[in-house]
Structure 1
């Protein structure tokens, strides 16, 4: 069973993550950042992973430290849960609409962290999260999961719809890429 638990404690945050790759999409999310809770719930549901996250952060400062550290812990949990990555499909690319917004994602579980992010926002906040911190969350996730991730919101008017399309697309891409399709490591180099 592909499962990992991560506990990360700093002077700014205390984060606990449990991730089950081969789950049923269940989640228990308590970050103190309501809109992030909503996005992580969507990530669990649409990826089929079970995700539990508890974060106690210095939200009296702002949401940045909590958002970034949750991304770090969640990325590390995914990397650890996938283990040697033997047999996974590895790649996924897809388009996901959310009403008038359209997101394109390309993902490679490559062990080479690379992040390309083209998501334009018109608002500074969605709920109680700074829109610039979505990039920080995703960059932290990519670096710790050691994946290549390209995200492009091709168009859209509503910032809520744009970022929701991103999280749903990411979830579906992860679901496809982690699917076991063989007993071989998906690399011509023999190593990821």
Structure 2
């Protein structure tokens, strides 16, 4: 089974192409025009073991909001497309990731229902040229368009860079677990409903 998908989105605000291989080795090619966001997406691909290409051009002369949110939209759609009907996957994933004083936990259910519970706080407003509020906006767009349940909560930490990076790595590792094949149910939908 090949789980590689490429999707694009073009609006008056952004032009984005995303390619994901869910069974990769963590190779990334990221260029969004937002340096800190590029760093987070590189960590996401590496720690999820997803081969990930994200090429985005956006109205960053205004701010990074449209670019970050729209990348979340396309990345969510791309992963949903790569998963197809979700036969034979684990479905659930959980990871807690430390980064120095920061500790963030992420839990995912590839349920087909979009929901985000966000429990992360930042003590400063900016990380490079990226507003820290955009971390939450990215994950809301990502889960909303990937149609999955996502809980992210900060268990410790105060350094904004560490908290953000632990969040991206935790979600990546939780997603890596959720999309992993489960040989005992090969060919089956992991739901009593028979669909996800």
Range into which the TM-score falls when normalised by the shorter chain: over 0.9
Instruction: Give the aligned partner of residue 78 of structure 1.
Output: 79
Instruction: Give the aligned partner of residue 169 of structure 1.
Output: 170
Secondary structure of 1:29's counterpart equals strand
Q: Does 1:191 align with 2:195?
A: yes
Instruction: Give the aligned partner of residue 151 of structure 1.
Output: 152
The Cα shift of 1:155 comes to: 1.5
CA offsets 1:113-143 (integer angstroms, 9 cap, x no match): 0001111111110111000011111100001
TM-score by length of 2: 0.96
Segments of 4+ moved more than 3 angstroms? none
Secondary structure of 2:165's counterpart equals helix
Distance in 1 (CA, whole Å) between partners of 2:43 and 2:96 is 16
The Cα shift of 1:157 comes to: 1.6
Secondary structure of 1:94's counterpart equals strand
TM-score by length of 1: 0.98
Secondary structure of 1:37's counterpart equals helix
Distance in 1 (CA, whole Å) between partners of 2:134 and 2:45 is 20
Alignment of 1:61-72 (within 5 A): 61-72=62-73
RMSD of equivalent CA atoms: 0.7
Q: Does 1:21 align with 2:22?
A: yes
CA offsets 1:47-95 (integer angstroms, 9 cap, x no match): 1110000101001111000000000000000000001100000001221
Distance in 1 (CA, whole Å) between partners of 2:96 and 2:45 is 18
Unpaired runs of at least 5, structure 1: none
Secondary structure of 1:93's counterpart equals strand
Distance in 2 (CA, whole Å) between partners of 1:105 and 1:18 is 23
